[in-house]
Amino acid sequence: MNASANSRVLDKSISMTPCPGTVTSSAALHYNHGAGERVRRSDREIDEYWSAVVTEEPVSDHLKILIREDLKRAWHFQREAEFLQITKLRWASTDSVRIVLKDAVGKVKPRKLAYLCNKPTAFYWLQSAQWTGASGQRNQTPTIIFAAIYEKWIRCHNTQPNIEYGHFFANPVRITSIGPSTVRGVIDAHRSLCAQASRLINQAKGRADNIIEQHPSSSQHYSLLPLYHSIVVIIDRFDSSDTEPESDGHVSLCKIGERQTVLIARTGMEEGLSAPISLESLKSQSLPLERSDVAPEDTDVVRVSLAAAVEYIVSLEMREGLANSKEKHEPSIDISLCPCIPQSFTSSEVDDSAEAWADVFMEEAEKHGYDNILDTWESIRRVRAGQIGETFREFKPWPIGNIWKW
C-alpha cells in the first residue's frame, strides 16, 4: 500500500479534460442533481460522471474540512489494507513466513519470534485439515479459513481492531507429516514453542524488540502474552462442501465461520492471567469431539464453530486487557503500516499520524490544485458524491478472494 511519489501526482496529460457532453463544475452538481431530478445511476456511471467533474477553485473552507477528514479516513484505510495483506501472506503462503512443526518440540528461530508475539493464541493445522499440494504431500492451508477468521475478528472488534505490531487473533502453525497428530501432542509442542520464545526474550533482557528489530531498542512493542501460553486452537478437518458458492456466485465467509469446526484446548499454563480459563461458557455451543485421543468428558478440550472460537478468544483477550488496563497505554503506531508521503511533497520530517498525513496533502493541493494530486482528486469527489447520496470510490476492504463475500 505504500505508494510511490509518482503515483501521488496526477499526470495532466491523462485526465483533467473531461469527456465531451459530460463536463460540469463542482458548483453545478447540486443543481443538476436536485431531489426532483435525481436518477439512480450504476456504479460505472457514477465513476464516469465524477471522474469527468472539474473542481472549481478556490475550494471553500467548509469543503476543505470535509476533504481533510476524508484524507484521515484514507490514511486509516490504507494502513488496514496493508495489515490485511501482510497477515494474509503469513497465513496463506509458504513455510518460510510461518511456524512449522516438524517434530514434537518445534523450533522458534529469532527471525520468527515476532510471529508469536502480540497474539492471544496459536492456530494449529493438523495434517488431516491440510490439502494435498503439487508435491503429493499435505502442505496446503486453505486461505478461506484465514478469510473467515479475519471476517469474524473484524466484527468482534466493531471493525476497529488493534493492528499494531502484528497483533491478530492468532499465528498459524502448520504441522508436517512427522509432527504431532494428537491434541496432547499439540499442547506439548505449544508449551515447547512458548518456552523457546521466552528464553529468547530473556536472553535479550526481556526486550523482544531487540530481537525482532535486530538492533538495541528502547521500545517495548512486542511481548509474548500470558494468554498465548494458556490456550490453543486446532483445526483437525476441513469441510470443502461449505465452500460452494451461493446463488449470487459468492461464498459467504460468515457461513464458513459458522459451519467449520475447530478444537479449543487449555494448555494448563495460566501464570500471569487475571483469572483461570474455563471452557464452561462454550458448553451450549459445543459439538461432539469426535476424537479418539480425547475423552468425551474432558473439560479442557471443546469442539465449536470457527466463529465461536474467534469470539471466545477475543473475549478472553479483552478480559485480560481490562484487568491490565492500568499498566497499559494507547498502542504505539506501527510505522511499517503507514502510507508514505512522497519525498517531493515536503523537505521536513512529518509525524506518522492521520492528521499530519492529511495536512501534507492539503498543503500540496493548495499549491498545485486539488485535481492534480491523486489523493485529493479522489477525496473531493468522494465527499461531493456523498453529499448527494452517491458513493464514489468508497473505502472497502480488499477482497481476500475473488468470490468470497463478507
Question: What is the per-residue pLDDT for 118?
Answer: 97
Q: What is the mean pLDDT of the chain?
A: 87
Residue 6, pLDDT score? 37
Cell of 176: 508436517
Specify which residues 125 forms β-bridges with. Answer: 174, 235
Q: Please give the pLDDT value at position 398.
A: 64
For residue 328, what pLDDT is reported? 54
Q: 226-280, pLDDT tens digit by residue?
A: 999 999 999 999 987 667 788 888 888 999 999 999 999 999 999 999 999 999 9
**What does residue 222 show for φ and ψ, rounded to 5 degrees?**
-115, 140
Instruction: Give the burial class of 40: count Cβ atoms within 10 A of its Cβ; 0-12 exposed, 13-18 middle, 19 or more buried.
Output: exposed
Torsions phi, psi of 46, nearest 5?
-65, -45
Across residues 180-194, what is the average pLDDT? 98
Secondary structure letter of residue 162 according to DSSP = -
Per-residue pLDDT averaged across 318-343, rounded? Answer: 82
- Cβ neighbours, 10 Å, residue 354: 20
Residue 405's closest CA among 238, 240, 249?
Answer: 249
Write down the pTM of the prediction: 0.86
**Rounded to the nearest 5 degrees, what angle is found at the Cα of 285, between the Cα atoms of 281 and 290?**
115
pLDDT tens-digit map of 289-309: 999 999 999 999 999 999 999
Question: Longest Cα pair distance anywhere in the chain, in angstroms?
Answer: 75
Q: d(Cα 290, Cα 279) in Å, to the nearest integer?
A: 17
Tell me the C-alpha distance between 209 and 330, whole Å. Answer: 18
pLDDT of residue 7: 41
Mean pLDDT value across residues 361-382: 95
Q: For the residues 360-368, what does the mean pLDDT come to?
A: 94
Give percent of the chain above pLDDT 90.
70
Per-residue pLDDT band at 348 (split at 50, 70, 90): low
Q: Collapse the DSSP code of 125 into the 3-class scheme (helix H, G, I; strand E, B; otherwise coil) and give the result.
A: strand
Instruction: Place 403 in a pLDDT band, splitting at 50, 70 and 90.
Output: confident
The closest of 69, 10, 80 to 339, measured between CA atoms, is 80
**Alpha-helix residue ranges (DSSP H) falling in 93-125:** 113-116
Each domain of the chain, given as residue ranges in start order, spans 5-73+338-395, 93-335
C-alpha cell at 391: 458513493
Q: How confident is the model at residue 5 (pLDDT cuts 50, 70, 90)?
A: very low
Q: Residue 286 and residue 259: Cα distance in Å, rounded?
A: 12
Return d(Cα 156, Cα 311) in angstroms, integer.
Answer: 6
pLDDT above 50 for 356: yes
CB-side neighbour CA atoms (13 Å) of 357: 24
Structure letter (DSSP) for residue 10: P
d(CA 72, CA 131): 42
C-alpha cell at 313: 478468544
